[in-house]
Amino acid sequence: MEEIIVNAGGCLSRIFVGQHREDIARMIPGKGVVIITDDNVYSVYGKEFPGFPVLRIKPGEGSKQLKTVELLAAGLLEHNIDRSGFLLGIGGGVVCDITGFLASVFMRGISFGFVSTSLLSQVDASTGGKNGVNLGEIKNLIGIFRQPEFVVCDTEMLKTLPEDEYFSGLAELIKTGIIGDPSIIESLEKDHQKVRNRDPELLSDLVGRAVKYKASVVTADERESGLRRVLNFGHTFGHAIELHKGIKHGFAVAAGMELSLRWSRELEYIDNDTCERILNLFSLYNLRFDWHMSPDDMRKLISHDKKKSGGDIYFVFVKGTGKPFVKLLPVSELIDFYSRITRK
Amino acid sequence: MEEIIVNAGGCLSRIFVGQHREDIARMIPGKGVVIITDDNVYSVYGKEFPGFPVLRIKPGEGSKQLKTVELLAAGLLEHNIDRSGFLLGIGGGVVCDITGFLASVFMRGISFGFVSTSLLSQVDASTGGKNGVNLGEIKNLIGIFRQPEFVVCDTEMLKTLPEDEYFSGLAELIKTGIIGDPSIIESLEKDHQKVRNRDPELLSDLVGRAVKYKASVVTADERESGLRRVLNFGHTFGHAIELHKGIKHGFAVAAGMELSLRWSRELEYIDNDTCERILNLFSLYNLRFDWHMSPDDMRKLISHDKKKSGGDIYFVFVKGTGKPFVKLLPVSELIDFYSRITRK
Is there a contact between B302 and B331 (Cβ–Cβ < 8 Å)?
A: yes
Q: CA of B103 to nearest chain A CA: how many angstroms apart? A: 10
Partners of residue A82 in chain B, C-beta under 8 Å:
306, 308-310
In the 3-class helix/strand/coil scheme, how is B100-133 assigned residue by residue? HHHHHHECCCCEEEEEECCHHHHHHHCCCCECCE
Going by C-alpha positions, the residue among A247, A222, A250, A235 that lies closest to residue A313 is A235
pLDDT of B310 reads 55
Return the axis-axis angle of helices B272-284 and B182-190, rounded to nearest 10°: 50
Cβ atoms A261, A323 nearer than 8 A:
no
Given pLDDT bands bounded at 50, 70 and 90, which one contains residue A137?
Answer: confident
CA distance B309 to chain A (A): 6
Q: Are residues B65 and B154 in the same domain?
A: yes
Does residue A307 carry a pLDDT above 90? no
Structural domain range at position A243: 163-343
Domain match, A28 and A133 both: yes
Contacts of B16 (CB under 8 A, 6+ apart): B1, B2, B3, B4, B23, B150, B151, B152, B153
A40 backbone φψ class: left, alpha, beta (φ>0; ψ -120 to 50):
alpha
The more confidently predicted of residues A127 and B319 is B319
Min CA distance, A133 vs chain B (Å)?
Answer: 10
Check pLDDT > 80 for residue A179: yes
With H, G, I as helix, E, B as strand and everything else as coil, classify residue A9. coil
Residue B226, SS3 per DSSP: coil
Q: From chain A, pick out residues whose CB is under 8 angstroms from the CB of B70.
A: 66, 135, 142
Give dist(CA B177, CA B172) in Å, integer.
Answer: 9
Say if residues A317 and A325 touch (Cβ distance below 8 Å): yes
- Nearest CB to B143: which of A70, A105, A130? A105
**CA neighbor of B255 nearest in space, from B274, B236, B228:** B236
d(CA B174, CA A186): 70
Query: Of B203, B204, B213, which is closest to residue B182 (Cα–Cα)?
Result: B213
Length of chain A: 344
Residue B310: list chain A partners with CB under 8 A: 82, 84
Half-sphere exposure of B169 toward its Cβ, with a 13 Å CA cutoff?
A: 28
Question: How far is the alpha carbon of A181 from chain B, nearest alpha carbon, in Å?
Answer: 28
Per the DSSP assignment, residues forming a β-bridge with B17 are: B2, B153
Domain edge (last residue) among A97, A129, A160 = A160
Residues of B with CB under 8 A from a CB of A: 10, 66-67, 69-70, 73-74, 77, 82-84, 104-109, 130, 132, 135-136, 138, 140-145, 223, 304, 306-310
The Cα–Cα gap between A329 and A312 comes to 5
Q: Which of B66, B108, B309 sits opposite A145 (nearest CB)?
A: B108
pLDDT of A14 strictly over 60: yes
Contact at CB, B144 and A108, closer than 8 angstroms: yes
The enclosing domain of B132 has a CATH number of 3.40.50.1970
pLDDT tens readout for residues A258-278: 999 999 999 999 999 999 999
- Global confidence as pTM: 0.91
Among candidate residues A115, A143, A160, the one where a domain is terminated: A160
Task: Tell me the C-alpha distance between B249 and B255, whole Å.
Answer: 10
Question: Which candidate from B84, B106, B144 shows the least CB-CB separation from A105?
Answer: B144
The tens digit of pLDDT for each residue in A83-132 reads 999 999 999 999 999 999 999 999 999 999 999 999 999 998 778 889 99
Residue A141 and residue B106: Cβ atoms within 8 Å?
yes
A210 exposed, middle or buried (CB, 10 Å; 0-12, 13-18, 19+)?
A: buried
Encode pLDDT of B234-274 as tens digits.
999 999 999 899 899 999 999 999 999 999 999 999 999 99
Q: How far is B105 from chain A (nearest CA, A)?
A: 5
Question: What is the rounded (10 degree) CA torsion for B188, B190, B191, B192?
Answer: 70
What rounded mean pLDDT belongs to chain B?
Answer: 92
Do A122 and A236 belong to one domain? no
Residues of B in contact with A84 (CB under 8 A): 309-310
| pLDDT exceeds cutoff 80 at B309 | no
CB contact under 8 A, B84 and A143: no
Question: A180 and A150 in one domain?
Answer: no
Whole-number pLDDT of residue B224: 67
**Residue A224, pLDDT score:** 67
Report the percentage of chain A scoring pLDDT > 70.
Answer: 96
Residues B275 and B337 in one domain: yes
pLDDT tens, position by position, A44-96? 999 999 999 999 999 998 999 999 999 999 999 999 999 999 999 999 999 99
**Residue A170: pLDDT above 70?**
yes
The candidate with the shortest Cα–Cα distance to A24, out of A131, A134, A150, is A150
Mutation target for A interface from B64, B97, B142, B313: give the one with most A CBs within 10 A: B142
> Are A153 and A167 part of one and the same domain?
no
A267 and A303 part of one domain: yes
Amino acid A101: pLDDT: 98
What are A138's strand-pairing partners? A135
Q: What is the 3-state secondary structure (H, E, C) of A219-250?
A: HHCCCCCCHHHHHHCCHHHHHHHHHHHCCCHH
A163 pLDDT higher than 90: yes
pLDDT at residue A331 greater than cutoff 60:
yes
Q: Determine contact, residues B329/B313, Cβ cutoff 8 Å.
A: yes
What phi and psi values does residue B59 have, to the nearest 5 degrees?
-65, 150
Residues A75 and A206 reside in one and the same domain: no
The predicted model gives A167-185 an average pLDDT of 97
Q: Nearest CA to CA, how far is A225 from chain B (Å)?
A: 10
In whole angstroms, what is the distance from residue B282 CA to residue A152 CA? 56
pLDDT at B308: 52
Chain B environment of A109 (Cβ under 8 Å): 144-145, 223
Q: What mean pLDDT comes out for the span A178-197?
A: 97
Asked whether the beta carbons of residue B132 and residue A108 sit closer than 8 angstroms, the reply is yes
Residues B201 and B256 in one domain: yes
Angle in degrees, 0-180, between the axes of helices B163-179 and B182-190, rounded to the nearest 10: 140
Taking CB atoms and an 8 Å limit, are B141 and A308 in contact across chains?
no
Say if residue A20's pLDDT is above 80: no
Span B51-66, pLDDT tens digits: 999 999 999 989 999 9
CA A14, distance to chain mean position in Å, is 17
Chain B closest-CA separation from residue A65 CA (Å):
10
| Chain A residues interacting with chain B (CB cutoff of 8 angstroms) | 10, 66-67, 69-70, 73-74, 77, 82-84, 104-109, 130, 132, 135-136, 138, 140-145, 223, 304, 306-310
CA distance B49 to B25: 9
Instruction: Look at A158-162, B27-31, B161-165, B288-292 and tell me which has the smallest mean pLDDT.
Output: B288-292
Q: Which of B67, B135, B144 sits opposite A109 (nearest CB)?
A: B144
**CATH code of the domain containing B328:** 1.20.1090.10
- Alpha-carbon Rg for chain B, nearest whole angstrom, is 20
Cβ atoms of residues B118 and B93 within 8 Å: yes
CB within 8 Å: B144 and A104: yes
Cβ pair A132:B108 closer than 8 A: yes
The answer to whether the beta carbons of residues A72 and A19 sit under 8 Å apart is: no
Q: Verify that A33 and A177 share a domain, yes or no.
A: no
User: Cα distance from A222 to chain B (closest Cα, Å)?
Assistant: 11
A101 in the same domain as A168: no
Q: How far apart are alpha carbons B16 and B208 in whole angstroms?
A: 9
Q: Please indicate whether, in this complex, the C-beta atoms of B70 and A74 are within 8 angstroms of each other.
A: no
pLDDT tens column, B22-35 = 889 899 999 999 99
Number of C-beta neighbours around residue A319 at 10 A: 14
CB contact under 8 A, A82 and B141: no
**In this predicted structure, which of A289-298, B77-86, B222-231 has the lowest mean pLDDT?**
B222-231
Which amino acid appears at position A293 of this protein?
A: M
**Three-state secondary structure call for residue B233:** coil
Q: Where are the beta strands (DSSP E) in B146-269?
A: 150-153
- What Rg do the C-alpha atoms of chain A give, in angstroms? 20
Domain boundary pick from B142, B160, B178: B160
Average pLDDT over residues A231-240: 94
User: How large is the average pLDDT for residues A174-196?
Assistant: 97
Nearest to A13, CA basis, from A99, A122, A113: A113
* Distance to chain A for B30, nearest Cα, Å: 14
Separation of alpha carbons B274 and B272, rounded Å: 6
> How open is the CA angle A68-A72-A74, to the nearest 5 degrees?
120
Rounded-to-integer distance, Cα B316 and Cα B310, Å? 17
How much is the pLDDT for B200? 94
Q: Same domain, yes or no, for B259 and B210?
A: yes
Instruction: Report the chain B residue with the minimal C-alpha distance to residue A145.
Output: B108
Q: What is the DSSP letter of B48?
A: G
Are B328 and B313 in contact by the 8 Å Cβ rule? The answer is yes
**CB-defined contacts A:B, below 8 A:** 90
User: In this complex, which of A104, A135, A306 lies closest to B74 when CB atoms are compared?
Assistant: A135
Classified as helix, coil or strand, A343 is helix
Set of chain A residues whose Cβ sits within 8 Å of the Cβ of B74: 135-136
Residue A126 contacts residue A169 (beta carbons within 8 Å): no
Shortest alpha-carbon distance between residue B256 and chain A (Å): 22
> Can you tell me the mean pLDDT for A159-180?
96
Count of the separate structural domains present in chain B: 2
Compare B173 and B301 and report the one with higher pLDDT. B173
